[in-house]
Amino acid sequence: MAVVMESEKSKIMVFGGSWYLGKYMVKASVSMGHPTFVYVRPLHPSWLHLHLQFESMGAIIFQGELDEHEKMVVALKQEDVVISTLAVPQHLEQFKIIDAIKQASNIKRFVPSKFGNEVDRVFGLPPFQALMKNKKRVRKAKEAA
């Protein structure tokens, strides 16, 4: 078994790290020894404890909005993997992340927030079909990037 050197570890950026799934992604990334970065909305008092916990684990916090394109590009220039854990109401906001990834031009892998299903193999009732259609759009944009 080969030993992975610290310099060979992927540098991972997690979008949506303050929410349910994101918290676990950040903690898992740090525990596996990856340099971990978290892009979060400007500090909300209810998230302070969690952000301090992330920082004590070694994660680096970037505060910003998804509309702050240049700030995202600057933040993304330091990583090579991006994981989005944005919730369903924000899943189309991932196009903004994809645009910033294109401009940063150093990201090797983007994992969009479509956890739990394979959009090309799932069929459902009309409200769910609309969600799947949007998730397919995000996947196609990712593939085109």
The residues assigned a catalytic role are 135
Selection from 48, 43, 82 nearest residue 64 by Cα: 43
d(CA 17, CA 87): 11
State the distance between the two ends of the chain, measured CA to CA, in whole angstroms: 34
Q: 54 burial class (0-12, 13-18, 19+ CB within 10 angstroms)?
A: buried
d(CA 32, CA 22): 15
